[in-house]
Amino acid sequence: GQQLNQSPQSMFIQEGEDVSMNCTSSSIFNTWLWYKQDPGEGPVLLIALYKAGELTSNGRLTAQFGTTRKDSFLNISASIPSDVGIYFCAGQEAQGGSEKLVFGKGTKLTVNP
Amino acid sequence: DAGVIQSPRHEVTEMGQEVTLRCKPISGHNSLFWYRQTMMRGLELLIYFNNNVPIDDSGMPEDRFSAKMPNASFSTLKIQPSEPRDSAVYFCASSPITGYSPAFFGQGTRLTVV
């Protein structure tokens, strides 16, 4: 099945630093989504991207849909302690009109105050 | 607005018992997804429904797993008989329109099979 490669697996940063994580796929996607999961909770949607090249911001978060349609990145600026959690990328394949979301393995973010 | 509601939040059962997980999607959403999350395999799609009809169940691990969606506001995931390796967090998610729309997740059911 389709696999998404998400990196890095984990990050340890100081409060105030910027963070960048990315996701790549072996096939073309029509949609890229970024989720955050807190312990004991379900993933919460942060940003949705629908067009190649699209750059979208949500507060301190910025995500881009790669021009090849095979990758996406998420940046967090000026990190704060509540940014701690696991960030997942997810994508919907272009072929077959499938609504299936394929997820990356996640990036675990730790922010030291 | 109420989000996706799952029950129970936690379930502990003995190997061999039947387990039923429940999900109420967001009202008006046409698609419903069941995911399983483990440390080793991450988030895996088990099955998804569109307008109450199962579209793709290729992720269901084996015949012990079954899912139903009798109406637009309710779905179940059943494991019978349960095994320790089924221990995981099971998430239900729904999305508002057919095709290329983000999914909204419930809080999950943490299943432990002993």
Length of chain A: 113
Alpha-carbon distance B55 to B46, whole Å? 11
Percent of chain B with pLDDT over 90: 77
Give the pLDDT score at A23. Answer: 97
Rounded to an integer, what distance in angstroms lies between the CA atom of residue B94 and that of residue B105? Answer: 7
Percent of chain B, pLDDT > 70?
95
Residue of A nearest to B56 (CA): A100
Give Cα A46 to chain centroid, integer Å: 8
To test the contact with chain A by mutation, choose from B4, B90, B105 the residue with the greatest count of A C-beta atoms within 10 A, namely B105
User: How confident is the model at residue A95, as a pLDDT?
Assistant: 63
CA dihedral over B96, B4, A87, A70, signed as positive or negative: negative
Residue B99 in this model has a pLDDT that exceeds 60: no
Partners of A35 in beta bridges: A45, A88
pLDDT at A3: 72
Contacts of B60 in chain A (CB under 8 A): none
Size of interface A-B (CB pairs under 8 A): 53
- Is the CB of B55 less than 8 angstroms away from the CB of A105? no
Query: Out of A96-100, B24-28, B88-92, which region has the weakest mean confidence (pLDDT)?
Result: A96-100
- Mean per-residue pLDDT, A41-49: 94
For A103, nearest residue in chain B (alpha carbons): B43
For A54-110, write each residue's pLDDT tens digit: 999 999 999 999 999 999 999 999 999 999 999 999 988 766 556 678 899 999 999
Residues A101-104: contacts with CB under 8 Å, at least 24 apart: A101/A33, A101/B33, A101/B45, A101/B93, A101/B103, A102/A1, A102/A2, A102/A3, A102/A4, A102/A25, A102/B45, A103/A4, A103/B35, A103/B42, A103/B43, A104/A4, A104/A5, A104/A6, A104/A23, A104/B42
pLDDT of B13 higher than 60: yes
Q: What is the pLDDT of residues A71-84, one digit of tens each?
A: 999 999 999 999 99
Query: Residue A106 is nearest to which of B42, B50, B56, comparing CB atoms?
Result: B42
Q: Cβ contact (<8 Å) for A99 and B105?
A: no
* B-proximal residues of A, 6-35, CB under 8 Å: 30-31, 33, 35
Which of A30, A41, A88 is the closest to B100 by Cβ? A30
Count of Cβ atoms closer than 10 Å to residue B41 Cβ: 10
Before B8, cis peptide (omega within 30)? yes
* Model pLDDT, residue A30: 87
Contact call for B108 and A103, based on CB within 8 A: no
Least Cα separation, residue A94 to chain B (angstroms): 9
Asked whether the bond before A8 is cis by omega within 30 degrees of 0, the reply is yes
Q: What is the pLDDT of residue B62?
A: 87
Search chain A and give the residue with CA nearest B97: A99
